[in-house]
């Protein structure tokens, strides 16, 4: 804006008249500049001599019917020190008689005119560039668009509002962009990395429990202003979020006519998406029969007497991004066939927010077993590690089946199963719940069916019932897998084991035979060396010397 004056003069004048009164009367005066501004607000004008907006003084009148005046020079603060340029500057003057100046005489004491107020008020205006009428009529327009139309619960969800304010009319004073923030969002700042976007000065405010971001658009926002800016928000609080969030934007100014722009409502949809994975493993994947140095017992009491250890581990993993809760997990475990045990469950262990129960009691035979304090297989599986699992046995060669895929699959469709039902609590993004079933292969059942190949299959399935939000996806995650443990037969190698005493005896016999052979060769003179006669050696030497001389 253009200010045509930076200072002005305030003149205060007074006179008096009356009969039988003193020829000299003193008035006490008080001048207040910009008196309509509340206490603590910036006063736009100050007295030049005092640099204050408040001044007390006296007016001495020494003659009746003669005007007595005092002038005070007032200046306008720098425009950067205040924002209000449109409202009038109110100048208030209060006065009263200075009774301390009255003389103790027979003269009548003067009084103020009761038909006039003891205070006067005048107004001054700041001249702005608003045409001849000094009345600014802006035409504020606002448009905005978010950089995404979809928010997924669990993602980082940073939103930037691309905002375009413009003024197609005259100057808009104290122009501000007001953005009403939804409860799910937090203001994070102004976009500064894009040179095409203007960097505004913005502040976070609370207005009547309404969360706002207020940005300065200029004072004034000049005629013809048209620019773009970016305001960033982080959206994370989805606990009570509906299917969308809303931002309300509007430009406001202190102009009396057309002070605001159009109201803009931005709606961004919210969705919940979770990718859930079920996986499992058998430790070991294959059991080889017969077992070395093992004999079945009719009534086993210890787990080693039942058969080899078989463990199945299942993991329910939430890849995300959204959280899941109220999930059910079902495991079908092949326990017996025709009253003969297959995989005998000893113990069920859980990891994470998982609670399980079985359709029938486990370990009915009351077989004693040891529960390990740590479970390296489970920990390795959860952390994608690799741990070797082996059964100590003799080296054997696995018999080739007579035909491919000849192993009979034993699962819940053809054998009796125990149903293990689990409820899974809330799983955030990247979290897992795991179930470990520790069992023993009932070896006696399979040893009675020599050379028959089997594949024992446990089936695990899951279904997510809900997510911990008001927003629910159209289809909740579900899935299933089958984990198999193979039972195969080996072809024993006759030389699988040589006793130690046999090895020592063979070495000793070998050494004895070697000694006898050496002795026999020595007796036969095999080690005696044949030497040539001395005369023959001299003749050969002479012949060699003659040949050398002739040459």
What average pLDDT does the segment 337-341 reach?
A: 90
Residue-wise pLDDT tens digits, 96-144? 888 777 766 556 778 887 778 888 888 887 777 777 777 889 999 999 9
Classified as helix, coil or strand, 285 is coil
Longest CA–CA separation in the chain, Å: 186
What average pLDDT does the segment 314-340 reach?
A: 94
In whole angstroms, give the CA distance from residue 130 to residue 173. 11
- Out of 27-31, 294-298, 480-484, which region has the weakest mean confidence (pLDDT)? 294-298
Residue-wise pLDDT tens digits, 447-499? 888 888 999 999 999 999 999 999 999 899 999 999 999 999 886 544 445 77
Tell me the average pLDDT of the chain: 84
Q: Record the pTM.
A: 0.66
- What is the reported pLDDT for 225? 94
- Out of 247-256, 429-438, 541-550, which region has the weakest mean confidence (pLDDT)? 541-550
- What is the reported pLDDT for 380? 60
In whole angstroms, give the CA distance from residue 68 to residue 64. 10
- Out of 133-147, 258-272, 404-418, 530-544, which region has the weakest mean confidence (pLDDT)? 530-544
- What is the reported pLDDT for 456? 95
- What is the reported pLDDT for 418? 95
CB-based contacts of 126, cutoff 8 Å, min separation 6: 3, 44, 76, 85, 86, 89
Residue-wise pLDDT tens digits, 42-81? 888 999 988 898 999 998 888 777 888 999 999 988 877 8
Say whether pLDDT at 388 is over 50: no
Say whether pLDDT at 404 is over 60: no
In whole angstroms, give the CA distance from residue 130 to residue 18. 49
Residue with tokens 């005896």: 505
Domains of the chain: 7-124 (2.60.40.1460), 140-271 (2.60.40.1510), 276-370+406-489 (2.60.40.1530)
What average pLDDT does the segment 260-269 reach?
A: 96
């Amino acid at each position: 804006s253009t200010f045509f004056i930076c200072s002005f003069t305030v003149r205060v004048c007074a006179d008096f008249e009356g009969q039988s009164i003193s020829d000299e009367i003193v008035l006490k005066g008080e001048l207040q500049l910009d008196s309509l501004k509340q206490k603590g607000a910036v006063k736009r004008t100050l007295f030049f001599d005092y640099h204050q907006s408040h001044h007390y003084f006296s007016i001495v009148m020494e003659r009746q019917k003669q005007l007595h005046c005092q002038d005070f020079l007032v200046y306008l603060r720098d425009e950067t020190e205040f924002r209000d340029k449109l409202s009038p500057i109110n100048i208030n003057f209060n006065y009263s008689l200075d009774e301390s100046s009255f003389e103790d005489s027979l003269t009548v004491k003067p009084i103020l005119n009761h038909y006039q107020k003891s205070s006067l008020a005048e107004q001054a205006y700041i001249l702005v560039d608003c045409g001849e009428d000094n009345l600014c009529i802006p035409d504020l327009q606002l448009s905005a668009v978010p950089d995404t139309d979809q928010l997924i619960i669990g993602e980082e969800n940073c939103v930037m509002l691309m905002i375009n304010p413009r003024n197609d009319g005259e100057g808009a004073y104290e122009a501000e962009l007001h953005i009403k923030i939804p409860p799910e969002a937090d203001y994070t700042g102004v976009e500064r990395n894009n040179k095409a976007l203007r960097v505004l000065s913005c502040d976070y405010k609370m207005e009547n429990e309404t969360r706002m971001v207020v940005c300065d658009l200029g004072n004034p926002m000049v005629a013809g202003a048209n620019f773009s800016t970016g305001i960033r928000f982080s959206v994370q609080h989805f606990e009570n979020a509906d299917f969308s969030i809303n931002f309300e934007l509007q430009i406001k100014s202190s102009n009396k006519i057309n002070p605001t722009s159009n109201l803009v409502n931005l709606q961004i949809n919210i969705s919940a998406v979770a990718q859930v994975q079920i996986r499992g493993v058998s430790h070991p994947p294959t059991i080889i029969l017969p077992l070395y140095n093992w004999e079945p017992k009719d009534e086993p009491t210890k787990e080693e007497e039942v058969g080899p250890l078989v463990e199945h581990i299942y993991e329910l993993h939430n890849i995300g991004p959204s959280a899941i809760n109220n999930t059910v997990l079902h495991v079908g475990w092949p326990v017996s066939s025709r009253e003969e045990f297959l995989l005998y469950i000893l113990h069920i262990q859980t990891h994470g927010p998982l609670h399980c129960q079985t359709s029938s009691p486990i370990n009915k035979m009351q077989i004693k077993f040891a529960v390990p304090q740590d479970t390296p297989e489970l920990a390795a599986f959860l952390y994608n590690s690799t741990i070797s699992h082996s059964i100590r046995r003799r080296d054997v060669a696995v018999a080739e089946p007579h035909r491919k895929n000849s192993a009979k699959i034993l699962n819940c469709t053809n054998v009796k199963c125990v149903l293990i039902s689990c409820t899974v609590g809330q799983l955030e993004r990247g979290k897992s719940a795991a179930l470990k079933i520790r069992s023993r292969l009932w070896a006696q059942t399979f040893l009675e069916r020599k050379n028959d190949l089997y594949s024992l299959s446990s089936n695990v399935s899951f279904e997510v019932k809900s997510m911990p939000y008001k927003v629910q996806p159209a289809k909740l995650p579900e899935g299933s897998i089958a984990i198999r443990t193979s039972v195969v037969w080996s072809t024993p190698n006759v030389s699988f084991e040589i006793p130690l005493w046999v090895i020592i005896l063979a070495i000793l016999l070998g050494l004895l035979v070697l000694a006898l052979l050496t002795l026999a060769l020595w007796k036969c003179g095999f080690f005696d060396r044949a030497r040539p006669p001395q005369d023959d050696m001299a003749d050969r030497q002479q012949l060699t010397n003659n040949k050398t001389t002739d040459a």
